[in-house]
Each structure stands twice: as C-alpha cells, then as structure tokens.
Homo-oligomer: A and B are copies of this chain.
C-alpha cells in the first residue's frame, strides 16, 4: 500500500456555517480556547520539537483573523491575514526543510493555511475594477468596496500522470530538478477540458505521445501556491517520444524493477524518485505494487 498522501488528513471541521454568521464568528474569536497559527510570512514557525506553534489570540494584533476551523476539542483555530502591503517570499525554500518536521495532520492544516494567506497577500485589489477589496466570509473571500464583485481563493487543478506502455511507465525531469531526479509529467487543467482531456493533451504536448484509457488514481492539495494535484494513469499507444524541451529536459520509459529500486533509494537505481510528500511518488508506488 502506498503511504498516505502529503497535505491530506487535516483533522479540522472547516465550519462553513461560522463564516457567514457574523455573530458566531465574533463569538469564536472571543472563545478562550481559540488559538492562532504562528507564521513567518507564509512559512511555519517551528516549535521546539519541530511541530506547529498555536498561540492565544493577541488583541493588539490588528491583522484580520481567518477561520481555519474548529478542532476535535471544539476550539477555534485561526491564522492571521497578511498586513496590507506585506511582502511574501513565496520562493523561499525554507518551508521544504520545515514540513518534514510536521506530523501529517499538521502539514495538512499548515498547507491550507499557507494557500489562504498567500492568496490574500496577492488579492488586495479587485481584478474587475482596481478598487481595494476587503476580507469577508470569515477569511474565505474578498469583496470589492466599489463594484461589489466577490472573489474567492483559487484552487488550480493540475493533472499529474503516468503514461504506461506494457510494463513500463514514462517519467521526466524539468531543467530545475536536482541531478538524477525524475517524476511524473504534469500540467494545469485549462478552461474547456475534462481531466481526461487534460491528461491526453499534456502527454502529447510534453512528450509527443498519444494515450487513451485515462484512469483516476488519487488527489492531493499542493500549497505552492494552491494546486489540486489530480493523479492519473493512461495507456500510451507507442513509446516514441518527442520532448518539448521548454518543459522537460529529458523523459524516459522505466520498468517496474527500476521504479522499485528508485523508490527504495538503491545505490544503483536508474533515477531518483520523488519525495514522500509528493503524489508522484504515490503514483509510482501504486503502479509498482
């Protein structure tokens, strides 16, 4: 069985009912058990043992409270919106060093909070009319003070897939990957296509292969900044590759034994497999059996 998927399993009730009930929301902010996630920009502030830090609400902090939800013990959990004009360094790699120190539940909760805070930091103005927007719905939207347009956090669906031909699957590497590292091919779903059509289009664009029989395998939120990774498999019609070198540096068909060696981190493996947090690893584990 593959490992559980990274960034899933947040044990929290998102409490949608509190978002639109101003009185209930205010009561949650006054709850003595309420806590706020400590963040450094959009990175987690690590506790002494590496976990997340949850602090009592500081009444002197005037940044808006965004409601993450109600925890198992009934306590409200919040995160602060960024201060207006705050600079967010979304390209910092610090986070990748900190996330492995979190429990799966913490990583999932942090991932959702990160996507939300990052979205607020990049949506202070209305894309329709350029006027400033203000937070509403308990932190899960922004409303324009001028034209009234409502804006909601983005979730960008991405298909990530293994093309299969007889007993081999296709893996590829982008120019920026660490040496030897190969992963599943992936791309954003566009308006006007189904998941299955997006899988076929991306495999043709990036590797020049035709596929059919697309099947869904699993999904995962990916908070860099707010993707929804949708893992699939597809059957390739042949193995001849035409690589789009603007997207991929290389791609290759690998056998089951090679995938198993890569997943096991063997010295002689023909490639380095994706890390445990990534759904690409899950797809390879699921296929390698």
Query: Which 7 residue pairs across A and B have the least CB separation, nearest first?
Result: A112-B192, A115-B191, A216-B216, A125-B130, A195-B219, A123-B127, A130-B130
Stretch at the interface among A3-11, A32-40, A50-58, A262-270: A3-11
Least Cβ–Cβ distance between A163 and chain B, in angstroms: 18
Within 8 A of B (CB), among A1-54: 5, 7-8, 10, 14, 16-17, 20
A205 at the interface (CB under 8 A from B): yes
The contact sample of 7 A-B pairs, CB cut-off 8 A, is A8-B197, A14-B201, A124-B127, A125-B126, A125-B129, A152-B156, A192-B221
Least Cβ–Cβ distance between A142 and chain B, in angstroms: 9
Stretch at the interface among A95-103, A172-180, A222-230, A250-258: A222-230
Task: Please measure, in the bound complex, the distance between the C-alpha atom of A45 and the C-alpha atom of B188, giving whole angstroms.
Answer: 30
Number of interface residues of A (CB under 8 A): 60
One of B130, B194, B226 near A219 (C-beta < 8 A):
B194
* Chain B positions within 8 Å of A116 at CB level: 191-192
A244 at the interface (CB under 8 A from B): yes
Task: Please measure, in the bound complex, the distance between the C-alpha atom of A123 and the C-alpha atom of B126, giving whole angstroms.
Answer: 8
Within 8 A of B (CB), among A139-170: 140, 149, 151-157
